[in-house]
Structure 1
């Protein structure tokens, strides 16, 4: 059954739901109306009986009229006019007036000065009775008026059939109207589905153009367009990444194949073969490092990748890295200038943070000019610390700044440094910052280019 229901369209489900709601509403209104009609007819019947009792009571107050009524009861019977009406007047055990064409059995009734109502039988009653005790000239008279229930029941039955007819008519009309409204409201959604079916994997630049007057469908259209934009961006990045990695892997492989082919053309001395092996080893190390970096980036982009974090003293960590890279800076006659806050701590993985800072320091040394300073500073905010590495005398064209942290993105003059980072150094920095809920940015200043890492402080 559930499988069968899953094949129904949304318009069909809405129509059925609207029909069921209409059934519940119309049936509830019908039952309530029937109940109110039944109550209203019962009240009207009791009021008529009470009025009849009051009219006879008026006759009793006039002795002459009373005598005429007692002597000629058929006069009142003619006035009543219907066989289903009943009127009985008793004085003790004497029945003065007995108008009871249908011979309805009368139950025992107590004396009462107010008008009381009772059915002739506890179950399956046929007549409604009203009675009252009237005192006239110290005589106690009991008035009983009655009316058959058939007329009321007939009226209720007619009313019930009308209710059923109009309720069914209303349900049918509401169901048809619900079907039409469902198709109208879902028309824009169906158009959206048709457009989605036309979009192919090679046509991600297409967008959903047809706008809808339905707010929810319009939000869905905007969300799907936004999703397509993200997919296109990721698709373009993947395509560019595939091209870049093919290029990066092809270069060392071509070097290995070319050198090996040349050596195999003639016999070579052992020393030359050893040099070839050392050259091959360098290429292997470059390939291995590139693959490790790519695997790290791939893992870091996985939302389930968890790193071990601890309290990290940034001041001490930066000093250790500066001591390590100082000899490399001296080879280019460069020096480090430190402007650090001593009591700065963050919560993170110390090895990954060292790797990110190392990549930036290597970047600054490789691309910096001789006899210029590399300024490392920390700036505190309310909840964050900014680690800035300024390379004096170096500026990067603005069109490159937004792409520097992408994989294998290289500026022309920086291609000589690929052997150290494989074109993934800054991409690794960005991935490490993402794992630490931080941010990596770059900007040009008057003094030079500044790479900045943003981290949470504790």
Structure 2
């Protein structure tokens, strides 16, 4: 059954669902209507029997009328006008009136001062009886009135068949109407499907243009266009990454090949060969570091990658790093300015946090202006705290700010090899922040470029 439903279109499924709902609703209303009609017929029948019993009681109050009724019971039978009606008046010793043309069996009836109802049989009843014990002429009499159930049942049967017929017609008409409405409402969805099929990988900037009057389909179109925009961004990043990694790998390989080819042109001394090997070793170390960094970034993007965390005093961690890099900063006549809030605790991995901050500090030292300051500050709020590294008097164009944390992204088109992280330093910072459920950002203020690390409590 499930496999069959999978092969059906959404329009067909909606039509089937609408038809099923119509079946339930129509038959539910029909059964409720039939039940109410049954109750109405039964109530009306019992009221007629009550009226009949009360009329006979009125006759009994008049002695002359009673005598006439006893002597001429046919008169009342003619008054009833139907052969299936029943009237019996009897005492303990005799039956005064017995109008029972169909010879209906009367069960044993107990005394009752109020009008009481009873079927002539517990199963397959044919007659509805109403009886009452009345007192006149210094004696108790039992008054029984009855009517046949066949006439009411025949009317109910006809009503039931009409209900079934009208319900079936209503279901058919509602199903056809539901099919038409489904086709109309899903027309925009089908148009969306056709436009989606027209989008090809060779035209990455192509989008779904046709708008829909249906709110849900329009939201789907907008969501799909947003998804295509994200795919386009990732595609552009991947293309740029492929170009950058090719350049980054080509540079050391060209160096290795060029140096080796030059050395092989003629015989070289042992000292020259050793220098070549040392030069090769530097390139190998650079390649190895680049590969390690790329592997770290790839692992950090895996949702199953787990790191060990502990409580870390932020001020002590930053002071430790500043002391380590202080000598490198002095070589460029740079000074660290610290504005640290005490008591800030970070729950994270100390080695990874040191690595992230080290990359920012190295970046500030390498690209900062000699003689300028590097300001490191911490600031806490109710829901997060920031670590900010400011490189004084260095500003980055706004067009580059959103791409700084991408792999191998470099502002300088000459692609100098000044960076010590192989063009992956800021990408590593971003990956470390993602592992700590934080975020890394960069922005310019009036003093210079600020790299911010935001942690949530």
The corresponding residue for 2:194 is: 194
Moved more, 41-50 or 335-344: 335-344
CA spacing shift, 1:315–1:140, aligned 2, 3 Å: closer
Tell me if the contact between 2:376 and 2:387 (Cα under 8 Å) persists in the aligned partners.
yes
Residue 257 of structure 1 aligns with which residue?
257
SS in 2 for 1:132: strand
Could you state the TM-score of these two structures normalised by the residue count of structure 1?
0.90
Report the CA distance shift for 1:86/1:387 in structure 2 as closer, same or farther (over 3 A): closer
Q: State the shift of 1:84 in Å.
A: 1.2
Distance in 2, matches of 1:46 and 1:383, equals 76
Instruction: Give 2:167's aligned residue.
Output: 167
1:12 alignment partner in structure 2: 12
Deviation at 1:245, TM superposition (A): 0.5
Q: How many residues in Structure 1 have an aligned counterpart in Structure 2? A: 457
**1:31 paired to 2:22:** no
TM-score scaled by structure 2? 0.90
Tell me by how many angstroms 1:215 deviates: 3.5
How far did 1:242 drift?
0.6
| Rounded Cα–Cα distance in structure 2 between residues aligned with 1:106 and 1:446 | 110
Judge conservation of contact 1:53–1:144 (CA < 8 Å) in 2: yes
Cα gap change, 1:17 to 1:324, in 2 (>3 Å): same
**How far apart, in 1, do the equivalents of 2:71 and 2:259 lie?**
145
Moved more, 157-166 or 183-192: 183-192
User: Structure 2 vs 1, CA of residues 447 and 76 (structure 1 numbering), >3 Å: closer, same or farther?
Assistant: closer
Distance 1:364 1:109 in 2: 110
SS in 1 for 2:228: helix
1:122–1:293: structure 2 CA closer, same or farther, 3 Å change rule?
A: closer
Q: What's the counterpart of residue 438 of structure 1?
A: 438
| Separation in 1, partners of 2:408, 2:7 | 49
SS state at 2:304 partner: coil
Match of 1:206 in 2: 206
Counterpart in 1 of 2:69? 69
Given the alignment of the two structures, is residue 226 of structure 1 paired with residue 226 of structure 2, yes or no?
Answer: yes
CA shift, 1:133, in A, is 3.5
Q: Is residue 365 of structure 2 the alignment partner of residue 365 of structure 1?
A: yes
Give 5+ residue unaligned stretches, structure 1. none
Shift in Å at residue 274 of structure 1?
Answer: 2.0
Going from structure 1 to structure 2, the CA distance change for 1:150 and 1:357 (only over 3 Å counts) comes to closer
Residue of structure 2 in register with 1:278 after alignment? 278
Higher mean C-alpha displacement, 281-290 vs 334-343: 334-343
Question: Do 2:59 and 2:65's aligned partners in 1 also have CA atoms closer than 8 Å?
Answer: yes
Provide structure 2 residue ranges, at least 5 long, that are not aligned to the other structure. Answer: none
Tell me, yes or no, if the aligned pair for 2:116 and 2:131 is still in contact at 8 Å: yes
CA–CA distance in structure 2, aligned partners of residues 210 and 127 of structure 1: 72
Query: What root-mean-square deviation, in Å, do the aligned CA atoms of Structure 1 and Structure 2 show?
Result: 2.6
Q: In structure 1, what is the Cα distance between the partners aligned to 2:311 and 2:88?
A: 105
- Superposition map of 1:142-157 within 5 A: 142-157=142-157
